[in-house]
Amino acid sequence: MNNEEREREAGGRERELRGVEARPRNWLVPVILLSLREWNSYGYELMERASAFGFEAMNPGTLYRTLRQMEKDGIVESSWETSRGGPARRMYTITDTGRAYLDFWAKSLEQYQHTMDNFFRLYTGRPLQDKNDEESSE
Amino acid sequence: MNNEEREREAGGRERELRGVEARPRNWLVPVILLSLREWNSYGYELMERASAFGFEAMNPGTLYRTLRQMEKDGIVESSWETSRGGPARRMYTITDTGRAYLDFWAKSLEQYQHTMDNFFRLYTGRPLQDKNDEESSE
DNA sequence: ATAACCTATGTGCATTTTACATATATATAT
DNA sequence: ATATATATATGTAAAATGCACATAGGTTAT
């Protein structure tokens, strides 16, 4: 094996840079839970509310699929509402498990905010104590 | 209690609840860039540094593959270091594109922090935007 | 009436991201 | 020689995401 030759494998650079959007994983789930904790709602309405949390150009499929999965997970419940004009709506309610889940999420989010604070502290140039600097910049 | 019974009760959820960890997508990329901006480094060392940012039980494969992808994207460069004892290290350096990318990430992250602030404002019970409310008890 | 449109929910599929297991190679200690 | 620590990498599957498309009830204009 020749290690130095493998260095050439790194060609083909300058692709399009991938998504630089800072958005947490499963961010949609806590946003839906938070909305449902305020009042019961349905997909089409929740979609509009979610746009306030970074889902401005949300695809309906994503939301509806997420809602069905959340019901399977037991954090929301649903029932059809047909008592009014227009297409039937699947009305969602948050469960006790869902409230606990939301609380857990909030704690995790709080923790993560501290991690991001660390990131910014390093980014803006105020180092938290660490090992020796190779450039020895005084 | 009977866990199985409770799961049936919850509407037939077959799966565990999905990750409740608050962590943005591609979080590893800016963390690596930030580390490399301080000093050049290599995978094995970067893995240890990344643990301070929520990657405590990181799988090596994830990191190394991310690094190679980052090089393809042109935000880092690498070369083998064989001048010392032990296995060869692929030393990474941040590029100018990488610095710009990091700056862009930081801006996005800042924006995201505001979104999370909104989330917490709703979560803790205080209203989001002003819709002529004056019960803001501070 | 019917066509066009808005509301409302949903599936299919490909891509991207992530997780986990496994493989390879070099040096050092025993 | 074998075990261990260091160091990098691939193979595969699961999960998350994005985009396109499908279905259907009701309202409005023609």
Q: What is the DSSP code (8-state) at residue B76?
A: E
What does the pLDDT average to over A16-27? 61
d(CA A15, CA B66): 15
Residue labelled with tokens 């690596």:
B32
Separation of A23 CA and D19 C1' (Å):
19
- Closest B-chain CA to A127: B38
Residue A23 is predicted with a pLDDT of 64
d(CA B131, CA A109): 26
The structure tokens listed for B6 are 């409770």
CATH of B25-122, one of 3.30.300.160, 1.10.8.80, 1.10.8.60, 1.10.10.10: 1.10.10.10
Report ipTM for this prediction.
0.74
Task: Give me the half-sphere count of Cα atoms (radius 13 Å) on the Cβ side of residue B113.
Answer: 16
CB A109 within 8 A of CB B120: yes
What is the per-residue pLDDT across A67-116, written as a single tens digit (0 to 9) for each? 999 998 899 999 999 887 788 999 999 999 999 999 988 888 888 888 88
Nearby residues of B35 by Cβ (< 8 Å), 6 or more positions away: B41, B46, B49, B50
Residue B137 is predicted with a pLDDT of 41
Q: From the list A23, A102, A127, which residue is nearest B112 (CB)?
A: A23
What does the pLDDT average to over A4-29? 50
The structure tokens listed for A136 are 């020895």
- Closest A-chain CA to B35: A122
What is the per-residue pLDDT across A55-75, written as a single tens digit (0 to 9) for each? 777 788 889 999 999 998 899
Separation of A86 CA and D25 C1' (Å):
6
Bridge partners of residue B92, in order along the sequence: B41, B78
Closest CA to A118 of B93, B49, B20, B43: B49
For B24, phi then psi, to 5°, come to -75, 165
d(CA B109, CA A121): 13
Q: Which residue is nearest to nucleotide D23 (CA to C1')?
A: A87
What is the per-residue pLDDT across B71-81, written as a single tens digit (0 to 9) for each? 988 999 999 99
d(CA B99, CA B79): 19
Residue B21 is predicted with a pLDDT of 62
Q: Using a CB-CB distance cutoff of 8 angstroms, which residues of chain A are in contact with residue B31?
A: 119
Q: Which CATH code fits A24-123?
A: 1.10.10.10
Q: Which residue is nearest to nucleotide D27 (CA to C1')?
A: A86
Lowest mean pLDDT among A73-87, A123-137, B39-53: A123-137
Residue B19 scores a pLDDT above 80: no
CB B66 within 8 A of CB B57: no
Residue B80 is predicted with a pLDDT of 92
In whole angstroms, how large is the CA radius of gyration of chain A?
23
Residue A53 is predicted with a pLDDT of 77
Residue B85 scores a pLDDT above 90: no
CB B77 within 8 A of CB B90: no
Residue A71 is predicted with a pLDDT of 92
d(CA A49, CA A52): 6
The torsion defined by the Cα of B61, A120, A128 and B27, in degrees rounded to 10, comes to -10
Nucleotides of D under 7 A from a protein CB: 5-11, 15-22, 24-27
Q: Using a CB-CB distance cutoff of 8 angstroms, which residues of chain A are in contact with residue B30?
A: 119
A67 Cα distance to chain centroid: 15
